[in-house]
């Protein structure tokens, strides 16, 4: 199952173009599902299955399904009815994820109306964030103990409690996350929607950086341009601004022009006329592999359009934590880099489409046998990773090289 995700600044027409893409795809004979939180233009239901996500209703349904079991295990706790529960912030994105997880295997294409840029980027980031929290709350040792406790409950030697309910929900959540491929360019194509204005260029560049943090990148920009009209001087100035913005948007991703209609499209035919057929996912997932350089290794993370002030880098145990454009990702290091210390980190070509974070590593003498150090030709006293002077650039990290990552030795076999 392949996915198209649309997101853009508020008022850019994201819902309309997502609906248009769904209609066009359905007319090629594919079974298409459109997932959105907004009202969609009329006529799409004839060709497309529309899943309208209502966050409050979804949260109420989840609470109603779990409240009875929770009340049975905690009889002294007064639980409010579903109609009185206040949804948590972010419940809308969670509801969209749940709706995506319920899409049947017979569906050929899922079109996701991701809404505004912050919501769309947050939706892409959410599965990884949920997996991170699951790992923190339920590490391997806790899951082993949980299995023992579950066996005791089934044998009647222990009483089922609230903790057991939480543990029972973990496999269900993990199964949902396994069905999602929002961070995989081979499974999900992200289309940015915007009007060719300077403010939109800045917003779409920031969104591109945030998506890159999680391994995703836009396949194109749908630019809603206005084809002339108005007084001559006004029209000329507006056209010049649009042309300049189109050039700038081309640095973000290939641009597909979408002419602004005089009136709001009504019906499936009008929607289908807005767009050509759009290509689906065809990208390759980003592989973060260390590169051998003088004095150690280098790991490169693409962060297009990132600037130095907005990037932070820290090391926590076996993870490299990267923050950019207000988005954060915890990257699990491979077995080699887990036995290394961070020696440098810097942003190269900042503010450009080729901006990237380069992180230098050197072997940790406490975790490498002396013969392996000698064989690798490592000079552990040197911090020259061969990068382009990245060590002198301040990425906002809190002395990542000084953190003792070997103390817990989670990566040592």
pLDDT for res 293: 92
CA angle 387, 393, 395 (to 5 degrees): 110
What is the pTM for the complete model shown? 0.63
Of 158 and 93, which is predicted with more confidence?
93
Q: Where are the domains of the chain?
A: 1-130+172-279, 291-402
* pLDDT tens per residue across span 56-104: 788 788 777 777 777 666 666 676 777 777 677 788 888 899 899 889 8
Q: What is the C-alpha separation between 395 and 393, in angstroms, rounded?
A: 6
pLDDT tens readout for residues 255-308: 988 887 777 788 888 888 888 888 888 888 888 899 999 989 999 999 999 988
> What gap in Å lies between CA 245 and CA 12, rounded to an integer?
15
What local confidence, expressed as pLDDT, does residue 64 receive?
79
Range among 28-32, 37-41, 153-157, 379-383 rated most confident? 28-32
Average pLDDT for the chain: 80
Which pLDDT belongs to residue 383? Answer: 42
Cα(79)–Cα(310) distance, rounded to whole angstroms? 43
Give the pLDDT mean for 148-164: 66
- Tell me, what's the pLDDT at 77? 66
Average confidence (pLDDT) over 40-66: 79
Q: Which long-range contacts (CB under 8 A, 24 or more apart) does 406-412 make?
A: 406/339, 406/364, 406/366, 406/367, 408/317, 409/367, 410/317, 410/318, 410/338, 411/318, 411/333, 411/335, 411/338, 411/339, 412/338, 412/339, 412/367
C-beta pairs of 169-177 under 8 Å, 24+ apart in sequence? 169/66, 170/134, 170/138, 170/143, 173/130, 173/134, 174/131, 174/134, 176/97, 176/98, 176/101, 177/127, 177/130, 177/131
pLDDT at 45 (0 to 100)? 60
- Over residues 112-142, the pLDDT tens digits come to 999 999 999 999 999 989 888 888 887 877 7
pLDDT on residue 403: 38
CB 283 within 8 A of CB 185: yes
At 402, is the pLDDT very low, low, confident or very high (cuts 50, 70, 90)? Answer: very low
Which pLDDT does position 34 carry in this prediction? Answer: 95
Tens of pLDDT along 361-373? 999 888 887 766 6
pLDDT at 161: 60
- pLDDT given at position 30: 92
191 pLDDT band (50/70/90 cuts)? very high
Average pLDDT over residues 356-363: 93
Q: Do domains 1-130+172-279 and 291-402 have the same CATH topology?
A: no
Distance CA 78, CA 274 (A): 53
pLDDT the model gives residue 8: 94
Radius of gyration, alpha carbons of the chain:
25
Distance of CA 228 to CAs 11, 224, 225, Å? 20, 13, 9
What pLDDT, in 10s, does the model give residues 223-240? 988 765 556 677 778 778
User: What are the two backbone dihedrals, phi and then psi, of residue 112, each rounded to the nearest 5 degrees?
Assistant: -110, 120
For residue 204, the model assigns a pLDDT of 94
Residue range 291-402, CATH number: 2.60.40.790
Phi, psi values for residue 183, rounded to 5°: -95, 0
| CATH classification code of 1-130+172-279 | 3.40.50.300
């Amino acid at each position: 199952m392949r996915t198209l995700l649309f997101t853009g600044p508020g008022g850019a027409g994201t819902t309309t173009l997502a609906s248009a893409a769904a209609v066009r795809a359905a007319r090629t004979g594919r079974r298409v599902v459109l997932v959105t939180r907004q009202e969609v233009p009329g006529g799409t239901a004839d060709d497309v299955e529309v899943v309208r996500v209502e966050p409050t209703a979804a949260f109420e349904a989840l609470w109603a399904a779990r409240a009875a079991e929770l009340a049975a295990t905690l009889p002294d706790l007064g639980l409010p009815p579903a109609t009185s529960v206040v949804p948590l912030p972010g419940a809308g994105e969670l509801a969209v994820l749940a709706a995506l997880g319920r899409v049947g295997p017979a569906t050929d294409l899922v079109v996701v109306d991701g809404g505004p840029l912050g919501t769309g980027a947050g939706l892409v980031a959410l599965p990884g964030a949920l997996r991170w929290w699951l790992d923190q709350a339920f590490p391997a040792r806790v899951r082993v103990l949980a299995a023992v406790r579950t066996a005791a409950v089934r044998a009647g030697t222990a009483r089922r409690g609230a903790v057991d309910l939480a543990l029972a929900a973990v496999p269900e959540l993990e199964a949902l996350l396994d069905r999602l491929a929002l961070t995989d360019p081979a499974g999900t194509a992200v289309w940015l929607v915007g009007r060719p204005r300077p403010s939109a260029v800045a917003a779409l560049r920031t969104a591109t950086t945030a998506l890159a943090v999680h391994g995703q990148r836009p396949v194109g920009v749908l630019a809603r341009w206005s084809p002339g009209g108005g007084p001559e001087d006004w029209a000329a100035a507006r056209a010049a601004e649009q042309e300049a913005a189109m050039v700038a948007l081309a640095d973000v991703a290939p641009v597909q022009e979408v002419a602004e209609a005089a009136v709001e499209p009504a019906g499936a035919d009008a929607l289908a006329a807005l767009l050509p057929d759009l290509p689906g996912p065809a990208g390759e997932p980003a592989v973060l592999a260390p590169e051998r350089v003088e004095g150690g290794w280098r790991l490169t993370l693409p962060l297009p359009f990132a600037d130095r002030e907005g990037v932070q880098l820290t090391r926590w145990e076996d993870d490299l934590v990267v923050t950019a454009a207000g988005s954060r990702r915890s990257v699990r290091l491979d077995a080699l880099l887990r036995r290394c210390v961070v020696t440098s980190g810097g942003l190269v070509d900042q503010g450009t489409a080729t901006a990237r974070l380069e992180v230098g590593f050197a072997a940790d003498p406490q975790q490498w046998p002396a013969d392996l150090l000698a064989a690798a030709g490592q000079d552990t006293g040197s911090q020259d990773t061969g990068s382009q002077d990245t060590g002198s650039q301040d990425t906002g990290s809190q002395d990542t090289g000084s953190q003792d990552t070997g103390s817990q030795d989670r990566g040592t076999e």
